[in-house]
Amino acid sequence: MSKVVIIGAGGVGGVVTHKCAQLPEVFSEIVLASRTEKKCKAIAAQLERPIKTAQVDADNVAELTTLLEQEKPDLVINVALPYQDLTIMDACLAAGVDYLDTANYEPLDTAKFEYKWQWAYQDKFKQAGLTALLGSGFDPGATNVFTAYIAKHYFDEIHELDIIDVNGGDHGYPFATNFNPEINIREVTAECRHWENDNFVTTPAMSKKASFTCPEQVGTYSIYRMYHEELESLTKHFPTLKRAQFWMSFGESYLKHLEVLGNVGMTGIEPIEFQGQQIVPIQFLKALLPDPSTLGPRTKGKTCIGVVVKGIKEGKEKIVYLYNIKDHQDCYQEVQSQAISYTTGVPAMIGAKMMLEGKWKQPGVWNIEQFDPDPFMEDMNKYGLPWKVVELDSFDLDG
Ligand code: NDP
């Protein structure tokens, strides 16, 4: 019987709240807190059991600490924005509460996608006897656990990793992002980095393209190599990796809009002065775009996210592919959300469950692949994200 405070009432926050509410035997009390409390109340109204809601500015450590001291939760699930990670970690330390998130800390003024700021909290959490679990979404999150599971059960040594994130869903808008537009656009416009022979190699954004055919008739999609934060932790925790790459599918229309918006400066993160006011172009753009949490009823099609690992077992080379396929409309039926928020929110709930059940509890700051993948993988099958594993004869995205 445990109490959680969920911070952030956006697309992902909605799913996490639904999924936690479905498991009263684990999450016996739920508080959903966010900057705009009416969004918390709207989510609460969709649920079959009562939860508490609260208004909080998670940038303000003192305000959040007061809320945590009042509520005394066992765990904070941070699904606000990456900008709040450090202030929420500080408040957790001040109030003596465990911490979980789904995205690495980002400074407002530079797109970095680095763990160093959060890894620097290792000693503080250890000394406080508190656990911080980083990156418990889908990617990062499930993809890290998939990699750990494959390394544990299929290989003596893993050498190559390709994380492939295909969204075959269509929301009918010429341009919209499936999760927070600011974070999404920062991610896809950043320079690409991939791991090659013990180093990160930098290439221009979207400069490497491949074609990937998903299993189970999901379709064939153009995927683009890009940097994604789990590459940093996975190459650190699996040092035998000689190459690691992350790929994401994008449609023609999305890329064309992004190119034009980039060319005219609308994706910039530096403030500009406009009629006496400081405006950050990408934040203004966010205000114009559809809210990702409203895409649920319109999005049709499937996501297919998985990892391909090459390595050695008993002296022989092998290739293993582990993936999940999820239908956007099925997600909408269950939790009134599209599959991108769903595939992030379910692993956040499962990571929280692992911590609250004591399966993943160890003072310090940990990336998700550092814990035993088996109980998490079992729960993925139970709580809406079933996966399959297949051995491949060949695999090549360079061809
Ligand atoms: P949204 O923009 O839909 O939601 C963010 C929520 O956080 C909003 O409700 C917002 O409040 C709230 N918020 C923002 N700032 C504060 C603050 N200072 N104090 C309190 N609340 C605040 O984002 P998503 O739900 O799409 O994404 C949530 C997180 O999940 C992000 O960190 C994102 O990077 C991560 N993510 C991770 C993925 C993964 O697979 N690992 C995939 C997709 C997302 P308001 O409503 O007032 O704006």
Atom of ligand 1 nearest to the CA of 139: 40
With respect to residue 203, please indicate whether it lies within any of the assigned structural domains: yes
Give 159-170 pLDDT, tens digit per residue. 999 999 999 999
- Which atom of ligand 1 sits closest to the CA of residue 184? 34
Please, what sign has the CA dihedral across residues 293, 296, 301, 306?
Answer: positive
Q: 34, 36, 76, 291: which to mutate for ligand 1, most atoms within 8 A of CB?
A: 34
Structure tokens at 102: 């789904």
In this prediction, residue 399 carries a pLDDT of 62
- Residue 369 has which token pair? 């692949």
Establish if 237 belongs to a structural domain: yes
CA dist., res. 186 & res. 197, Å (int)? 27
Does 132 map to a domain? no
Residue 171 lies in a domain: yes
Nearest CA to ligand 1 atom 4: 10
How many Cβ atoms sit within 10 Å of the Cβ of residue 90?
Answer: 17
User: In this predicted model, what pLDDT tens digit does every residue of 168-184 receive, in sequence order?
Assistant: 999 999 999 988 888 88
pTM of the model: 0.95
Index of the ligand 1 atom closest to the CA of residue 39: 46
Measuring from atom 32 of ligand 1, which residue has the nearest CA? 81
Q: Residue 243 is part of a domain; what is its CATH number?
A: 3.30.360.10
Closest ligand 1 atom to the C-alpha of 87? 18
- Ligand 1 atom having least distance to the Cα of 344: 40
Q: Looking at ligand 1, which atom is closest to the CA of residue 142? A: 40
For helices 230-237 and 142-154, angle between their N-to-C axes, nearest 10 degrees: 20
Q: Residue 190: its pLDDT value, please?
A: 87
Residue 87 and residue 36 in contact, taking contact as beta carbons nearer than 8 Å? no
Going from the Cα of 81 to the center of ligand 1, the distance in angstroms, rounded, reads 4
Total of domains in the chain: 1
Domain membership flag for residue 28: no
- Helix/strand/coil (H/E/C) assignment for every residue in the chain: CEEEEEECCCHHHHHHHHHHHCCCCCEEEEEEEECCHHHHHHHHHCCCCCCEEEECCCCCHHHHHHHHHHHCCCEEEECCCHHHHHHHHHHHHHHCCEEEECCCCCCCCCCCCCCHHHHCCHHHHHHHCCEEEECCECCCEHHHHHHHHHHHHHCCEEEEEEEEEEECCECCCCCCCCCCHHHHHHHHHCCEEEEECCEEEEECCCCCEEEEEECCCCEEEEEEEECCCHHHHHHHHCCCCCEEEEEEECCHHHHHHHHHHHHCCCCCCCCEEECCEEECHHHHHHHHCCCHHHCHHHCECEEEEEEEEEEEECCEEEEEEEEEEEEHHHHHHHHCCCHHHHHHHHHHHHHHHHHHCCCCCCCEEEEHHHCCHHHHHHHHHHCCCCEEEEECCCCCCCC
Q: Are 243 and 195 in contact (CB under 8 A)?
A: yes
Confirm whether 346 is domain-assigned: no
* CB proximity list for 338: less than 8 A, separation 6 or greater: 11, 169, 171, 178, 292, 295, 296, 299, 328, 331, 332
How many CB atoms sit inside 10 A of residue 45's CB?
A: 8
Q: State residue 225's pLDDT score.
A: 96
Give the pLDDT of residue 284.
95
Residue 153 contacts by C-beta under 8 Å, 6 or more apart in sequence?
Answer: none
Determine the distance separating the centroid of ligand 1 and the alpha carbon of 78, expressed in angstroms: 8
Q: Which of 15, 40, 66, 81 gets mutated to test ligand 1 (max ligand atoms within 8 A of its CB)?
A: 81
Q: How far is the CA of 157 from the centre of ligand 1 (A)?
A: 37
- Any residues with Cβ below 6 Å from ligand 1, and which? 7-13, 34-36, 39, 56-59, 79-82, 84, 102-103, 137-141, 179-180, 183, 292-293, 344
User: Has residue 41 been placed in a domain?
Assistant: no
Those residues of the chain that have pLDDT short of 70 are 399
Half-sphere exposure of 198 (CA within 13 A, CB side): 0
Task: Please check whether residue 288 lies inside any domain of the structure.
Answer: yes
Cα(320) to centroid of ligand 1, in Å? 33
How many Å lie between the centroid of ligand 1 and the Cα of residue 10? 5
- Tell the residue nearest (CA) to atom 13 of ligand 1: 80
**What distance in angstroms lies between residue 303's CA and the mean position of ligand 1's atoms?**
20
| Structural domain that includes position 276 | 143-326+387-392
Q: Tokens 């909290």 correspond to what residue?
A: 121
Atom of ligand 1 minimally distant from the CA of 11 = 25
